[in-house]
Structure 1
Amino acid sequence: MGRNTNYARNILLNDSDFDDDFEITALLALEEERLERERASTSHYGFVPGQEKDEYFVRKRNATGVLGLSSLQKMTAALRMLAYGVAADFTNEYVRIGESTAIESLKKFVEAIVDIYSTEYLRSPNSNDIARLLRVSESCGFLGMLGSIDCMHWKWKNCPSGWKSKYIGQSREPTIILEAVASYDLWI
């Protein structure tokens, strides 16, 4: 068969001796199954979690019919600005997106993350959460402990030159102390 996508249709049209109803039905079912697989494989193409929350990340056509920026471009620009601390106009070189669009993408991305995850993760623990964490830590032998704290020095690559003298540590380079508190399941 190979990659002949119209195999069933070609057999039905080209073979005049083809009278068996069962085989015709089977070939039509194969064709319908192929079309269904094709529809299913293209329906999720370009899907980005959170698109149902905000239409900003859905790729649209402008008034002239030209496709706009993809959700991948917008989210990549936002993530690069968050992760690497790059300026909004720097994203143009990598993602081919303008400065104002990169800033807007960052704002919309942060709003979408807060909307999606705020109810479960971006909230203060309530009394039930605290009781659960205290029970678990007590069973491990740590009475009254909600989580463990850890600190580490991270090199601050983009430290402003006026602040460097305040943040230079043992490594003779500016660093930031990162403090993290986490429960056993990394919930807080």
Structure 2
Amino acid sequence: MSHRFLVDSSSSEEDDDDELILATLHQAHTQYALLNAARPGGSVPGRQYINRNREAGHWRLYEDYFSDAPTYSPTFFRRRFRMSRSLFLRILQAIEQHDDYFVQKRDRIRRLGLSPLHKITAAFRMLTYGVAADATDDYIRIAESTAVESLKRFVKAIVEIFGDEYLRSPNDNDTARLLAIGEQKGFPGMLGSIDCMHWKWKNYPAAWQGSHNDINVLHRSHLFANLAEGHAPEVNYTINGHNYTMGYYLADGIYPQWATFVKLIPSPQGNKRKYFTKVQAAVRKEVESA
């Protein structure tokens, strides 16, 4: 799941990185409980040993995306990793310092283990594209069980590292920034747009399977728990001569009838309603396209 606040296209790269960390954090936080169940590990008698040539896999990944002159440009990196390389490396460094599982080590026979690039790229690919753990093996050269363990530790580390800063309700400065963006978009009092991603975990134990829709995800988020009770950051604005004191979020028709959601008008009649529906959808789609 990912709640994504609407961001202005003119925001600084640092603000953009913050929004992407927030999106990653929400998705990680939602999956943490699902992925926290124990899975069997270690060698399994009779299992075929595969020499994956992990060193070659690491250098291919490094030369493709992380060298001084990578094969693929920053445009390709952002498209495939859904963020800039600098932000990816910022997250990688923080996780490596937080959990030494991601630090590259040598085994008992002095064979070099998987690099943090291996493990964190596998976790990002699984979160970003919803692919099965085994699907990361052919390029990243990482076993399915290791990819799953990397994902479990990744989402746990993300929550522990960034939770206090990002997994919280907006403070006064956040609210002021969001209101300024909403005003610029033509929606005074708007705190942002809300969108939840859809996915279906595959090749995991039955307890982890199933599709999670927007409503289920929304109800799991403590960030929006107060919205169900009609509470939102207090703001003051006027529309058509009426004074309002509660902010709101733009949402599509699937969300509940909360006072803090301004949804599309179904089957709008008349130019005003049609225009409102068109503009509301355009602004809301920006966060879905993020």
Q: TM-score, with normalisation over the residues of structure 1?
A: 0.48
Q: TM-score, with normalisation over the residues of structure 2?
A: 0.33
Look at both structures and tell me which one has the larger radius of gyration over its CA atoms: 1
**Quick one: higher RCO (CA 8 Å, sep 6+), 1 or 2?**
2
